[in-house]
């Protein structure tokens, strides 16, 4: 997938929200969806189970309109967090321009976070992509939970953020950190335009 098409003057960014099950990826998308004016958002496609878990994936297209003469579109995807949907995750990850890793701040979820992170790395490798080259942002969600249940952002940084990528504490349900995360990943993705390097 091409990030920038200079011929048709289009920019399309595919951003994938990755993370363990129930970490809040879909919540992120929902929050964004609600804030985007109707004229600018496409239909949010969500394939969920009856228990409201993402079975397949969420897809939210956002049209940012003309920017510098380029019609700019963002496509936000989430992957199903559950371990057994790995084939789907790999599929969604294909052609991603940037990845937001939504981690669960709860202390007891630390292992799931680590596992998912490793899964991200191996799935990217399957596509022949080195995780170090992909724009990546960490979001530590559920920071609104009681202190005793969660790890602080510095602790989570120590545990998960080996590569010292930008990280944001968030409360996706109420929107804290959602746009900050999105903004940062967009910047990272768009900066690659300047370098002229091709997308994943």
Binding residues for other proteins, rule: CB under 8 A, are 4, 6-7, 11, 32, 35-37, 39-40, 64-70, 72, 175, 178-179, 182-183, 186-187, 190-191, 193-197
Closer by beta carbon to other proteins, 70 or else 85: 70
Instruction: Please compute Rg for the chain using Cα positions.
Output: 16
Least distance (Å) between residue 21 CB and other proteins: 27
Nearer to other proteins (CB atom), residue 74 or residue 77: 74
Nearer to other proteins, 108 or 183 (CB): 183
Q: Among residues 89, 191, 85, which one has the least CA distance to residue 137? A: 191
Residue 61: in which H helix or E strand, if any? strand 54-67
- Least distance between other proteins and beta carbon 110 (Å): 30
Q: How far is the CB of 170 from other proteins (least distance, A)?
A: 13
34 or 115: CB nearest other proteins: 34
Q: Are strands 70-78 and 10-18 parallel, antiparallel or unpaired?
A: parallel
Select 64 or 107, whichever has its Cβ closest to other proteins: 64
Q: Nearest approach, Cβ of 183 to other proteins (angstroms)?
A: 5
Long-range pairs of 32-39 with CB within 8 A, sequence gap ≥ 24: 32/60, 32/62, 32/76, 32/178, 32/179, 32/182, 33/60, 35/175, 35/179, 36/62
Angle 125-115-100 from CA coordinates, rounded to 5°: 65
Distance in Å, CB of 104 to other proteins, minimum: 23
């Amino acid at each position: 997938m091409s990030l920038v098409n200079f011929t048709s003057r289009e920019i399309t960014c595919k951003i994938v929200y990755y993370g363990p099950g129930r970490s809040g990826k879909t919540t992120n998308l929902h929050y964004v969806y609600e804030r985007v004016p109707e004229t600018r958002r496409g239909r949010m496609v969500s394939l969920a189970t009856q228990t409201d878990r993402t079975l397949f994936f969420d897809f939210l297209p956002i049209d940012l309109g003309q920017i510098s003469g380029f019609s700019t579109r963002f496509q936000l995807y989430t992957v199903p967090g559950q371990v057994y949907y790995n084939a789907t995750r790999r599929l969604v990850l294909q052609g991603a321009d940037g990845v937001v890793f939504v981690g669960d701040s709860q202390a007891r979820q630390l292992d799931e976070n680590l596992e998912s992170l490793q899964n991200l790395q191996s799935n990217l490798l399957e596509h022949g992509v080195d995780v170090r080259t992909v724009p990546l942002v960490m979001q530590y969600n559920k920071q609104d939970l009681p202190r005793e249940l969660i790890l602080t952002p510095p602790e989570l940084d120590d545990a998960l953020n080996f590569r010292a990528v930008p990280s944001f504490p968030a409360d996706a349900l109420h929107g804290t950190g959602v746009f900050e995360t999105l903004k940062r990943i967009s910047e990272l993705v768009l900066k690659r335009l300047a370098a002229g390097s091709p997308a994943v």
